[in-house]
Every structure is written in structure tokens, then in C-alpha cells.
Structure 1
């Protein structure tokens, strides 16, 4: 989010905001394709009014920032950097507070320090933040005590409260999504550009968190980093450039009304950028090759991610690459593997072999969360930390087997000490889930579990075959 002085001038470029632009009008063609996971707005006039307001609003991110991220992702695809992407399963308006945003940023910065120190690789820092306000659902309706209502689809669409009034899709929430994302980005820019993310703050990032085994292990790493920093300062190294870090925003581009309204044409090139976030991805449920999401995203200049679950075939992957990355441009396409611990060692190598033979230079990232969701005996939607760790190991083993590059980690996490995922060094059991289970949709790693996972990934990267 923040950039060194040499990059600032390249990061901000004027956009063509005219609604009459032929380029932007062409984006609306997604409505002619099969579309799923889209809310049915009850008031078309209200939807159109909010769309027009979003179309006229300032972009949330800028073309130069997006281009810089694509360059970094190209390095990750070659094994010269590693992508760390994390944040809430679904952001909420109420929880988009300064303290909660700060805790997530702190956790990601800590994880990045562990990875960079342990693996000697630059870490690309990216939040599932400033746009992750909508979620796909397996059913259009939810039934409680014999009453059926529309499913909660995230704060961008409707309310969580189980009442008929709350569950009606409300297009004015798209404007609330934009303003909340803007506020979040302002905080991210302040945190990462005002010295908070300075590597010399590596110890301060741990303040306020509950002590744990991972906490203690991090303190030892932070001590080593501090000693190295003091040595380099003593010999005259200039640390001013590391006061600011690059921090990127990402979310699933689920609500196409919102994404279309925030698309802008770059005045330098005439190309279209999705200005709702730096990195946008297509989910496992919406990656149909002839569907609206793939068609829409193929027209954007942003780096694009696609989730691939255990049922993804080689043909699926190749066709997606042909549509989304026909030029085979490094950094353009990211495949996010979400196979599940039981499938990753069998399913992933097949896709990797095919991509390698076809010359697809994708950024391969593991999402060890979504393929490992279970329901506890006391009714909580949860995940086992051991399964998450095992899928990460399997992801690396699959790449080593094929001779390809494991390029990133994508997680649902929070900087708060919630009790949503079973296990970890705190040995959270099913009874413990009820103590601080706060997620409205999917369970997230807490702060301690996030650090534990970072240490595993650093160890895997540090011991990669030469």
C-alpha cells in the first residue's frame, strides 16, 4: 500500500471516469452470461442509483500500484519471492475498526518477518481486506426452527440478523461497502506508511497479544532480527527506506455490480483496471469457463486469482488459463489450490504437471482452509489445525515432486484471539470453541495459530530442494 519514493510517482495515474466510455460499456456484457451467486435486488431503480454513484466515485486503488504488484507476483512465480495473503473470511462493517484492522496488519507483518527471516525470501504482503464483504453460499435460503429466509451473503448484500427485514438484499449496502473499504485502505496506508511497519518495530508488533508457544518463538526470532538491525545500523546502513512497506488489498470479486461500477480506464494505456482492490479472485463456485465471472475478469488488467478445488480437472485449468491469461504473462494469473489435506498429494501434482508442460507460469498458492471445514459435535463450523498444517505440507511436497514453485499462502485469519479452529499449541478443543467464536461465516485462525503456520511455511521454504 505504501511505496518507496521512487515508486510514488508511478503509482498514481488519472483514470477516464466517463460512463460513455466504450471500454467500460463493454464490461456490462457479463449480464449476458450465466451468472450465479448474485443477489436479486428488489429495487432496480435503487440499484441503478447506487451503481451511478459508485461509477462517479474515486477509485480505491491505482493502476501503478496494480502494475507493481503484478511485477512482484511474477517474481513469486519464479521462486524469487513469496506471497502471504490473509484476512477475514468475511469482513463486516461493525468490525472494520482501527484496532481490529491494526491487529490483522500486525499479524501479517509478524508472519512476513518469520517467512523472510526463515526462508531468506522477500515476502509480498496482502490482506483479504477492504473489499471482502460478500460471500458465496451453498443455498439461497436458510431455515431455523421451520422458518426459511434468504441466506446471509455478507454485509455488502444483507444483514446477519435472522429477520425478514434484515435478510432482504439492499443495494445501498454496496455504497457502505465502498466507504468502509475506503476507510480501511486509509488506515492501511497510515499503518504501513507512517513507520508502524518499520522492521525496527518487530518486537512492538507482539504487544497486546496473548502469550503462547508461538508468541515465545516469535520473540526469539524478533531478538535475532533486532541484533542484525543494530549491527547494520552500527556499520552505517540507511534504514529510512524500510520505514514504509508495500501492502496490497484483495478480495473475491463476487458482486459484479460493484466490480463493474468501480472499473476505470487507465489514461496511459486505455486498459481497464478493477479499482476495488489490487488483486481480485474468482471463487471455486463461480469459475465456470462460460460464466459471468470469468468473462468479466478476463477484461481487467489486474492480476487475477482462481480457486481450484479437488474436482478441478486439467481441462478446467487449461481453459481458465487460455481465457484469463492468453498471453502467458508472468504475474497475471494465480491458481489458489484448496484441495483439502486428504486430496492435495493426489490431486495437485496432476494439475502442476499439466501446467508445467503447457508453459503456464502461474503463481501457485495454497489455501489450506476451505478444503478442511467440518462441523464439531456441538454444532460449530470449524477446522482442525492439524489438517491445515498437513495440507500446507502436502502443497510443498507436490511442488517438489513435480519440480514447480510453491509461491504463496492464502489464509482466513484474524489478529484477535478467537476460538474458531481446533488444535494448535493452545490445544483448543470442541468445548473451547464456544469461548470466543465470533465469525459469521467461516472459522479463522487466531493470532497464535497464524504464527505457528508461518513457522511451518518458513521451515518448508528454508528446506526446499536445491
Structure 2
């Protein structure tokens, strides 16, 4: 029997379960005041957008699409700026153009932003020079500066997170509705680096080919085709801070059940995917499509139970499993999970997160991810799924549209020494715009 079966679900039922990775707010009254304010604010997304994404994921499960999910490891309030948001959107659009060209199928675009303000940590406390303070858990909770005042969890940040997420979503929607994502004009998406990148010629050929294809299709149709002038774009974040998620959980007219209206696609991280835990309990009751990170240390029974609890009706488009094994472990760890899920008849979309299993520390004290290992895990994923009679239906990447130096390797062969030049992440290393596009090109060759 499921540990959850004795619980009647409601948005607060998670509070009856062990809740990992939750901050300790010193003032319970201030927390409740902030949550009550959140509950009265307009939602960030709509139920029909959520349902639309679920339908697109269902098509991807059936082999009729590929999901590209990407964005910051942890957004910061300071980066809620138009140029940073636009560049992040540009690189995802560029990557999707490459994948559409190479795979010859639709790409579902999900931004890892407009709410990715909380991060799990390995310890509750961080110690420097004998001083211990609460760990930085993302801007939704506290600030990265190492002082007692800034590291104290502050409920007011929940409201600030809602506001910054709303600004981000509003700007992205405005860009897309204004023609920013028009396939007639992919040159709008160019970042400054395109002219001098080693990949520039290959990318430009793809742009020209796609433009010719669009014009050819419209000539045959005798009129402009609306799907080419805009794209659907969705948001996602880890459903980590459950007080925040509960406050955004709403019922809507003429639709059964509850929706998390802070994002289209929440996911459960591997650190909070315990059967019987609060995060699984919360997510089992919402109508959104759900992602779950699965790692090399998770048993087939554990993963099968997650599918059964989170998607008891085996609804198409509901369940996504995002494997993050590491390039050296995936060959042994992934096939048994694929086999178990298939044998149990669970409908899932399989995605690859090649970032989190390939993190290493350098001698000069930086966390980084070697591009070759990231590429290897993605390429192995395509091959393993094919050999197992399955299909890799998407990728989940930590990336930025900025010229950072956080992951080593890639076309410019960034070294450990290069990391000191532009390492800006407060938590985990991200692919820069060039590495992200290079990975998309390599994926398109493997999957095409």
C-alpha cells in the first residue's frame, strides 16, 4: 500500500509528511502573513496553458515531439533584467531551431525560469572561518552574502519572488506575441557572438535552410502560416519550497481538481523524491504535468512507485522522468529503469539531464562541468533508449544566454584557468550560449 493512500489530498496535506529541504523561518507569524498575501495575488500562469503543455508532452511521449527545457540553475532577483531575459530566450530559440532542423519534428520549449529562485543544499549550515550561518537556499529564501542578516530566511522574499516571476513571464510573453520568435526572422535571435563563433557558418546554413522551408510551405499554402510567426513557450521550476507552492495552488472555474499556477511544469528533485515525503505528497494532487529527477542510486521499485503514486490513472502527458546519472554511470544504471517502467506499463516521457551527474571541483576551488562529459551523457542516452526499445524525448539543461565561463571545454576549449574570467553562478555551473548551441548541434546530428 502506498504511504500516501491513507491521506486525503488537499494543498496542505504535505504538512503531514516529512518535508526535506525546507528553510527554518524564525517568525511563523510573518510567514503566514506573506502566504496569505500570496494566496490573494493573481496567478502567474493559467490552467488552459497548463493543460496545453500536458497535451504537448503527451504528443512527445508518442514520438511526435521533443522537449527542450533549459535555463538558470538558480535565478537571482538581480538578473530580472530585460537583456538577460531576452538573451536566455534567444539561446533557447536558437537551440530549438537547430533541433527542429536536425530532428525534423516539433520542439516543445520549456524555460527553466520565472520561478527557479529556490535551490536544495547539502547542509543546513555553511561554515566559514569558524562562523556557521544558514546555507544560501536561493533568492526566494535568503541572500548569498555571508552575514547573519542576509542569510536569515525572510518570508518577504516569497512575495518578491512572485513579483519577479510575473515580470519575467510578462516580458517573455510580450516578446513572443510581438514577433520575437517569428520563424520568418530567426536573425532576430542572434547574439553578438554568432559572427565570430567557430559554429557561425554551420548555424547560418541552418537559418537559411529553415527560412527557405518556411517560404516554400507558405507558397504551397498560398497564405502565411500562423504557426511560423510565433511559438508556444512554457515555464518550469523545481517545486522545492512547499509553502510557496501551496500558496499558488488554486481551483479554477469549469475545471476539476487543483492547479499549481506558479508555473506550467513543476518538477521534484532527486533529493526530495522520497516515497512518503512531502514533495511527492504535494505533487500527486495537482493537475500540472510533473517531472521527477531520477539518479543512478534509485532502485527500479522506487521509480516505479513514483510513477504509480504521481500518475495513478496513467494519464498521457502527466509524467516525465528526467534521468541524471553521470556519463560514467548511465550505461549500467539507466537500462533497468527503462525496462521496469515499460514492463509496468507506465506512460512517461524520458528526458536527460546531463548536468547534475557530471559536476566536479577544480584545484582552484570552482565547481564545473566538463562539456565532453555532458555531451557523452546525452549521446549515450539516445543510444541506450534506442537499444532498449525506448525513446529519449527531451533534455533538461542548466544554461544561460550570457558569455560566462563556468563549464570547461566546448568549441573554445575553456580550461580551469578560464573559469576565473567570468564565473557568475551563485550555485551550479551553466553552459554558456555557445556551449548550449554546440550541444544542440551535436544532439541534432545524433538524433537526426
TM-score bracket, shorter-length normalisation = over 0.9
Q: Structure 2: any 5+ residue segments left out of the alignment?
A: 1-7
Q: 1:378 aligns with which of 340, 364, 369?
A: 364
After superposition, what is the alpha-carbon deviation per residue over 1:367-415, rounded to whole angstroms, capped at 9, x for unaligned?
0000000001111010000000000011111101110111000000000
C-alpha distance in 1 between matches for 2:431 and 2:200? 14
TM-align CA RMSD:
1.4
Farther off after superposition, 279-288 or 241-250? 241-250
- The secondary structure found in structure 2 opposite 1:259 is helix
- Which among 129, 152, 158 is matched to residue 168 of structure 1? 152
Structure 1 counterpart of 2:3? none
- Superposed displacement of residue 457, structure 1: 1.4
Calculate the TM-score normalised by the size of structure 1. Answer: 0.92
1:36 aligns with 2:20: yes
Match of 2:123 among 139, 160, 184: 139
* Count of residues in correspondence between the two structures: 440
Deviations 1:407-441 (A, max 9, x none): 00000000011000000001000100011000000
Alignment partner for residue 97 of structure 2, among 109, 113, 120?
113
Which residue of the other structure, out of 152, 167, 178, is the alignment partner of 1:194?
A: 178
Residue 435 of structure 1, aligned match among 421, 427, 440: 421
2:213 aligned with 1:228, yes or no? yes
For normalisation by structure 2, the TM-score amounts to: 0.96
Distance 1:350 1:241 in 2: 39
Question: Residue 77 of structure 2 corresponds to which residue in structure 1?
Answer: 93
Q: How does 1:47-446 map to 2 (within 5 A)?
A: 47-209=31-193, 211-235=196-220, 236-446=222-432
CA contact (8 A) 1:214 1:449 kept: no
Question: Which position in structure 1 is the counterpart of 2:5?
Answer: none
Find the counterpart in structure 2 of residue 10 from structure 1: none
Which segments of 5 or more consecutive residues in structure 1 lack a partner in the other structure?
A: 1-23
User: CA–CA distance in 1 between the matches of 2:423 and 2:365?
Assistant: 12
CA contact (8 A) 2:38 2:247 kept: yes
**Structure 2: distance between partners of 1:215 and 1:326:** 47
Q: Aligned partners of 1:201 and 1:377: how far apart in 2?
A: 45
CA distance, structure 2, for counterparts of residue 277 and residue 95 of structure 1: 19
Does the 8 A contact of 1:194 with 1:243 survive in 2?
Answer: no
221-230 or 291-300, which deviates more: 221-230
CA drift of 1:32 comes to 1.1
The Cα of 1:245 is off from its aligned counterpart by 1.0
